[in-house]
Amino acid sequence: MFSDLSAQREGSSLLCRPASEDQGPVFERTSLDYSPRTERYRVGERSFNRQYAHIYAARLMEMRPLLSERAKHKWGKNVHIRKLCDLETGEQCCIVGTLFKRMDLQPSILKEISEEHNLLPQPARNKYITEADELILEDELQRIKLEGKIDRDKCVTGSVIAIFGAEKNDGKFTVEDFCMADLPSQTPRPTLSCDKFVLLASGLGLGSSKADSMLGLQLLVDMVTGQLGDAGEQSGAATISRVLLAGNLLSQSTQDKDASTKAKYLTKKTQAGSVEAIRLLDELLLQLVASVPVDVMPGQYDPTNYTLPQQPLHRCMFPLSSVYPTLQLVSNPYEANIDGVRFLGTSGQNVCDIKKYSSMDSHLEILEETLRLRHLAPTAPDTLGCYPFYQRDPFMLEECPHVYFSGNAPVFESKLIRGSDGQEVLLVTVPDFSSTQTACLVNLRTLRCEPAFFSAFSADEDEESEMNISH
Amino acid sequence: MDELYLDNIDEYVNDHNKIVTYKWLSLTLGVHVNTAKQMLYHYLEHKRKESSPQLHATYLVSGKLEDKGQMCHKVSVVREDQLEDFKSKMSLIVSVHVYSVQKALLKDSGPLYSVDYDAIKDNLKNCSRYSAIRCARAVPMSAAELQQVQEIQRAPPSAPENKKSAMNGDANIASKPSSKPQKGIMGMFANKSAPKNQDNSKDVKPEPKEESPVPEAPKTKPAAKSSPMANFFGKKPEKPVEKQQEAQLAIASEQQHQRTTAEEPAAVQLHKETKADSGSKTKRMEESDSEEEKMEKKKRRRIKKPQPDSSDEDVIPDSPPQMKTSEPSPKKEPETVQHSHMSSGTKIRRRRKVLKSRTFKDEEGCIVTEKDYVSESYSETEDDFQSTKQAPRNNNKAKPTSSSKDDDKKTQKKSSASSNKGSKQASIMGFFQKK
Gap from B350 CA to chain A (nearest CA, Å): 38
Closest approach of B400 to chain A, Cα-based (Å):
35
B171/A233 Cβ within 8 A: no
The whole-number average pLDDT for the span A396-403 is 90
Best-predicted range by mean pLDDT among A266-275, B208-217, B322-331? A266-275
Please judge whether B141 and A325 are an interchain contact, meaning their C-beta atoms are less than 8 angstroms apart. Answer: yes
pLDDT band at A366 (very low <50, low <70, confident <90, very high): very high
| CB-CB under 8 Å, A31 with B164 | no
Question: For a pLDDT cut of 70, what percent of chain B falls above it?
Answer: 40
CA dist A410 and A408 (Å) reads 6
Chain B residue numbers with beta carbons less than 8 Å from the beta carbon of A225 are: 127-128, 131, 133
For chain A, percent of residues with pLDDT exceeding 90: 25
Q: Say what the pLDDT of residue B56 is.
A: 84
Among A449-453, B283-287, B402-406, the range with the most confident prediction by mean pLDDT is A449-453
**Looking at CA atoms only, how far is residue A264 from chain B in angstroms?**
29
Q: Are the Cβ atoms of A31 and B112 closer than 8 angstroms?
A: no
Taking CB atoms and an 8 Å limit, are A14 and B37 in contact across chains? yes
Contacts of B376 (CB under 8 A, 6+ apart): B325, B351, B352, B353, B354, B356, B382, B383, B386
pLDDT per residue as tens digits for the range A256-274: 666 566 766 776 667 777 8
Tell me the pLDDT tens digit for each residue of B106-136: 787 778 888 888 888 887 777 777 777 777 7
pLDDT of residue B315: 42
Q: Which residue in chain B is spatially nearest to A321 when comparing CA positions?
A: B140
Mean pLDDT value across chain B = 60
| CA distance to A252, A292, A436, A458, B113, per residue, from A204 (Å) | 11, 18, 10, 20, 15
Banded pLDDT at A368 (limits 50, 70, 90): very high
φ, ψ (nearest 5 deg) of residue A408 = 60, 40
Q: Which of residues 188-247 of B touch A (CB under 8 A)?
A: 209
Q: Which residues of B touch A15 (CB under 8 A)?
A: 41, 96-98
Domain over A52-114+124-179 is classified CATH 2.40.50.430: yes
To the nearest whole Å, the CA of A402 is away from the closest chain B CA by: 21
Above pLDDT 90, what percent of chain B?
A: 0
Cβ-based contacts of B60 with chain A (< 8 Å): 228-229
What gap in Å lies between CA A111 and CA A106, rounded to an integer? 10
For residue A36, is the peptide bond before it cis, meaning its omega torsion is within 30 degrees of 0?
no
**For residues A331 and A309, is the Cβ–Cβ distance under 8 A?**
yes
Chain B residues with beta carbon closer than 8 angstroms to that of A320? 124
Per-residue burial over A164-181, b = 16 or more CB atoms within 10 Å of its CB, e = otherwise: bbbbeeeebbbbeebbbb
Put simply, the answer to whether A237 touches B133 (Cβ < 8 Å) is: yes
Choose from A50, A208, A390, A465 for mutation: most chain B CBs within 10 A.
Answer: A390
Q: What is the number of residues in chain A?
A: 471
The predicted pLDDT at position A409 comes to 92
- The partner residue sitting opposite A450, judged by closest CB among B33, B35, B73, is B73
Minimum distance, in Å, between the CA of residue A387 and any CA atom of chain B: 12
The Cα of A342 is separated from the nearest Cα of chain B by a number of Å equal to: 22
Is A465–B109 a contact, with Cβ atoms under 8 angstroms apart? no
Fill in the DSSP letter of residue B12. I
Looking at every residue in chain A, the average pLDDT score rounds to 84
- Interchain CB contact of B4 with A (< 8 Å): no
B422 touches chain A (CB under 8 A): no
CB contact under 8 Å between B136 and A452, yes or no, is no
Q: How many Cα atoms within 13 Å fall on the side-chain side of residue B196? A: 15
Does residue B66 sit at the A interface (CB-CB below 8 Å)? no
Q: Which amino acid is at A108?
A: S
Q: Which residue has the higher pLDDT, A173 or B271?
A: A173
Question: What is the number of helices (H) and of strands (E) in chain B?
Answer: 17, 7
Q: Is the pLDDT of residue A233 over 90?
A: no
B161 touches chain A (CB under 8 A): yes
Q: How many CB pairs under 8 A join A and B?
A: 282
Compute the distance between CA of residue A415 and CA of residue B350 in angstroms, rounded to an integer. Answer: 73
How far, in Å, CA of B268 to CA of A23, rounded?
71
Q: Does B101 touch chain A (CB under 8 A)?
A: no
- pLDDT of A431 reads 93
Do B76 and A456 count as a contact with CB atoms less than 8 A apart? Answer: yes
Task: Tell me which chain B residues have a C-beta less than 8 angstroms from the C-beta of A211.
Answer: 110, 113
Predicted local confidence at residue B54, as pLDDT = 77
Planar angle of CA B312, B318, B323, nearest 5 degrees: 90
For residue A426, list its beta bridge partners.
Answer: A403, A416
Contact B27/A at CB under 8 A = no
Predicted confidence (pLDDT) at residue B413 exceeds the cutoff of 60: no
Q: What was the pLDDT predicted at A370?
A: 92
So what's the pLDDT on residue A100? 92
Euclidean distance between CA atoms B321 and B388, whole angstroms: 9
Answer yes or no: do A465 and B134 touch at CB < 8 A.
no
B287 to chain A, closest Cα gap in Å: 27
Comparing CB atoms, the residue among B35, B77, B89 nearest residue A215 is: B77
| Residues of A in Cβ contact (< 8 Å) with B115 | none
Please state which of the ranges A32-41, A276-285, B409-418 shows the lowest mean pLDDT. Answer: B409-418
Shortest CA distance from B146: residue in chain A: A323
Residues of B in contact with A47 (CB under 8 A): 164-165, 168, 172, 174
What confidence score (pLDDT) does residue B163 get?
44
Where in A61-102 does DSSP place strands (E)? Answer: 81-82, 92-102
- Comparing A344-353, B60-69, B96-105, B417-426, the range with the smallest average pLDDT is B417-426
Confidence of residue B178 (pLDDT cuts 50, 70, 90): very low
Whether the per-residue pLDDT at B326 is higher than 50: the answer is no
- Give the one of B42, B71, B136 whose C-beta lies nearest to A17's C-beta: B42
Torsion sign (Cα): B181, B182, B184, B188: positive
- Out of A106-115, A335-344, B119-128, the most confident range is A335-344
Residue A233 is which amino acid?
E
Indicate if the alpha-carbon torsion angle A144, A145, A146, A147 is positive or negative: negative
3-state secondary structure of A395: coil
Question: Quick check: A15 and B167 CB within 8 A?
Answer: no
| Secondary structure (3-state) at B203 | helix
Contacts of B70 in chain A (CB under 8 A): 451
Q: Is pLDDT of B184 > 70?
A: no
Shortest Cα distance from A394 to chain B (angstroms)?
14
CB contact under 8 Å between B108 and A291, yes or no, is no
Structure confidence at residue B187 (pLDDT)? 43
Residues 6+ apart with CB under 8 A from B43: B5, B6, B9, B10, B101
Return the CATH architecture of domain A28-43+186-256+270-453.
Answer: 4-Layer Sandwich (3.60)
Residues of B in contact with A237 (CB under 8 A): 132-133
| Number of C-beta neighbours around residue B53 at 10 A | 9
Spatial contact of A186 and A402, defined as CB atoms under 8 Å apart: yes
Which residue spans of chain A are classified as CATH 3.60.21.50? Answer: 28-43+186-256+270-453
A469: which chain B residues are within 8 Å (Cβ-Cβ)? Answer: 67, 89
Closest approach of A231 to chain B, Cα-based (Å): 8
**Residue B199: its pLDDT value, please?**
40
Q: pLDDT band at residue B192, thresholds of 50, 70 and 90?
A: very low
Neighbour-count burial for B131-158, b at 16+ CB within 10 Å, e otherwise? bbbbbeebebeeeeeebeebbeebbbbb
What is the rounded distance in angstroms from the CA atom of residue B391 to the CA atom of residue A403? 68
Minimum Cα–Cα distance from B86: chain A residue: A465
CATH 2.40.50.430 domain range(s) in chain A:
52-114+124-179
* Mean pLDDT of the region B264-273: 44
Q: What is the pLDDT of residues A415-441, one digit of tens each?
A: 999 988 888 999 999 999 988 889 999
H/E element, A178: strand A172-179
Q: Give mean pLDDT, residues B399-422.
A: 47
pLDDT digits over A174-202, tens only? 999 989 888 888 888 888 888 889 999 99
Q: Which residues of A touch B213 (CB under 8 A)?
A: none
The pLDDT of residue B243: 45
Does residue B89 belong to the interface with chain A, where contact is any CB pair within 8 Å? yes
Average pLDDT over residues A444-461: 81
Residue B278 confidence class, pLDDT cut points 50, 70, 90: very low
CB contact under 8 A, A28 and B98: no
* C-beta neighbour count of A314 within 10 angstroms: 12
Residue A209 has pLDDT above 90, yes or no: no
The yes-or-no verdict on residue A445 having pLDDT over 60 is: yes
Q: How many CA atoms lie within 13 A of A268 on its CB side?
A: 3
Q: Name the nearest CA neighbour of A310 among A19, A24, A46, A30.
A: A46
Question: pLDDT class for B60, splitting at 50, 70, 90?
Answer: confident
Q: Which of B38, B94, B168 has its CB closest to that of A47? A: B168
